[in-house]
Chains A and B, each alone.
Chain A
């Protein structure tokens, strides 16, 4: 949250990295990057570099966690100890990563057709290799592609993006420095087919009007993100076709 030595984040209507208020960073996604996983994706979202991988469906273990009516999702979001510009981080789950893993899992429970695999588990791993703000959104966006590429049936491919507030301006997709000094942060994951909100968190200071506008900004950006997700999937299938061409 805002500190006393707060840098100017918006100068002459442009952000520090030259973006406009409603501009996304560059996003590049590649599907099917991990051979052993049933589905996977690698995303570069600005300076974020994140891997998502899927294993399963397989028998849910230990037995007491299994659900006789549907598959369960196990999700582990984790940041590598070398992912940030600051000091070496601690490996293993912390409170932040546990919460992100939980809300990420809940996002995908909404769109995965889990009833088709009773008693099973689907494992979703999100490893942040390099972090520069907005890793939960980028991780979910990559995980959606990883899950879609696994062939496990799902009703939609969600995307995620964060909207922040700097002074009185709403800014789309904050990077690390913006995140550190912003006045609010509102990460969202949305199902593009229904427009439903699957993940919503917020902290800082926002009015109802600002929240409404932030959701609209996220939805507009979502069209772009969705296109990039679909293009990544399409390319991976084209490559597979190419491989089996006689």
Chain B
């Protein structure tokens, strides 16, 4: 009961603050928290990247292995994306099989990557009945809101800097002189939270606790590539148009983060 009263107090505080155009950490409505990306942090993985947005920390590892193609796409490799809300990352994450929240996070990240064509799945074909399986695993290491944007950034950073193993005489060669995994595009996402009548970019953990609805928009330079609305609140068509505009303007700075590490 005590925790419920505290949460009501916090809820009113967050609502009032946001209604007056302010946020707990002093940001403007459409500001991101500090973003940092480091890559290659897990040298054993073909690709890896750690992204922090404020105190949200996500690690993505990319691995490649030999698999068989899907029956409806015999000449294409597979992309398999998963997300783990590790119990180590938050008091509210529980042990056990992936929650619907984790599955949604993985699928939204996956849709953006697929729709943007970063990876040409046809280039992952090896021989009859044999293709590369490309695994993208997102580990939430510390939760403070906005896992969607952090996962997409980390996944794209890991893919963009991953090495490509070789396939010789039925064996995978993961060491030695390897080239890079070929990537063709870049995608980033912007996630918004509706709290009361206001909509803010990059919600932190406290803001997510009290948001009525959430919208993630993934885009590349030219077009919207994926969207996902979440939770029980609503958005008006006008809201969606505005948020698409904000996403396009914000995505330039997000893409810069990836371009910086790609150039290294």
Q: Complex: how many Å from CA A77 to CA B240? A: 27
Say yes or no for A115: interface residue by CB 8 A criterion: no
Residue pair B73, A200 in contact (C-beta under 8 Å): no
Say yes or no for A12: interface residue by CB 8 A criterion: no
Q: Complex: how many Å from CA A195 to CA B73? A: 39
Say yes or no for B51: interface residue by CB 8 A criterion: no
B residues less than 8 Å from A208 (CB atoms): 224, 241, 244-245, 248
Residue pair A110, B115 in contact (C-beta under 8 Å): no
B55 to chain A, nearest CB (A): 26
Within 8 A of B (CB), among A103-121: 103, 106-107, 109-110
Partner of A203, one of B100, B111, B236: B111
Residue pair B234, A197 in contact (C-beta under 8 Å): yes
Instruction: Mark the stretch among B20-28, B61-69, B102-110 that contacts chain A.
Output: B102-110
Nearest opposing residue in chain B for A202, CB measure: B227
Residue pair B229, A201 in contact (C-beta under 8 Å): yes
Instruction: Mark the stretch among A13-21, A94-102, A145-153 that contacts chain B.
Output: A94-102
On whether A197 and B229 interact (CB within 8 A), knowing A203-B114, A207-B223, the answer reads yes
Bits for A179-202, please: 1 = Cβ < 8 Å to B, else 0.
Answer: 000001010000100111111111
Q: A106-B231, A109-B232 are in contact. List 16 more A-B contacts (CB 8 A).
A: A86-B72, A96-B107, A98-B100, A103-B229, A103-B230, A106-B230, A191-B234, A197-B229, A199-B229, A201-B227, A203-B112, A205-B115, A205-B225, A208-B224, A215-B240, A216-B237
List 25 A–B pairs whose Cβ atoms lie within 8 Å, in order of A's numbering.
A95-B103, A98-B100, A99-B104, A102-B100, A102-B104, A103-B104, A106-B231, A107-B232, A110-B232, A110-B233, A191-B234, A197-B229, A197-B236, A197-B240, A200-B215, A200-B240, A202-B226, A203-B111, A203-B227, A204-B115, A205-B224, A205-B225, A206-B224, A211-B240, A212-B237
